Amino acid sequence: MLTSIIVPLIIRHTKRPLIWFARSYVLHLINAIPLAAYVYFTPRMISSGYYYPVLILLLVSNEVIKTLQFTAHVGFFASISDPRIGGTYMTFLATLSNLGSALNSSVILYAANWFPKRYAYLIAVASCDLLGILWFVLSYRTLKQLQKLPPHKWYLTEGKNTDDMTTSKEQGQNDNQVSLISDKEID
């Protein structure tokens, strides 16, 4: 979808991806309300001429917000990842994030069985919105503090300073060049 291409361009140069994530989280909570209302009133509105255009607008706005959240999320992971272990750290963080999302979805779907069938979706959305607002209020300060931490504070062990890492990168490139030269000599 076009939003997946355009939206990441909005925050590509940000130095505060976690703050962008928090703000898009609020947008996601707000956007859930008209979506839930639209789903609830669908049987009454489906035959009207405006049903599909409004539905498309709601779904596009939801997709924009979700893409913004995902981009900010991954941007934050990239900003705190230890360059010495590369993508392994990012993969680990993404795995934990996906596990948390899957567990939340599973719990709410399981709990929906206890709600009255006619209102299960509305109750689930309302309860998730309330929990989301509570989480946001309780954790926004922490998110701001986490965003202010320098990247090396996220590492499991205290790493070398950036000059040492640059030196080791240059050495790695020199080793690669020596390897290429020796390969040419063999040919």
Domain ranges of the chain: 3-156, 160-187
Q: Are 118 and 4 in contact (CB under 8 A)?
A: no
Q: Given this model, what pLDDT does residue 159 score?
A: 53
Helices (H) and strands (E) in the chain, counts: 6, 0
| pLDDT of res. 158 | 62
Q: Tell me: the pLDDT tens digits for 26-71?
A: 999 999 999 999 999 999 999 999 999 999 999 999 999 999 999 9
In degrees, to the nearest 5, what angle opens at C-alpha 16 toward C-alphas 154 and 165? 40
Sequence-ordered alpha helix ranges (H) in the chain: 3-10, 17-45, 51-80, 87-112, 120-148, 162-186
Contact 76, 45 (CB under 8 A): no
For residue 185, pLDDT over 60 is answered with no
Q: Please give the structure tokens belonging to residue 60.
A: 């596009």
Between 173 and 10, name the one with better pLDDT: 10
The model's pTM is 0.74
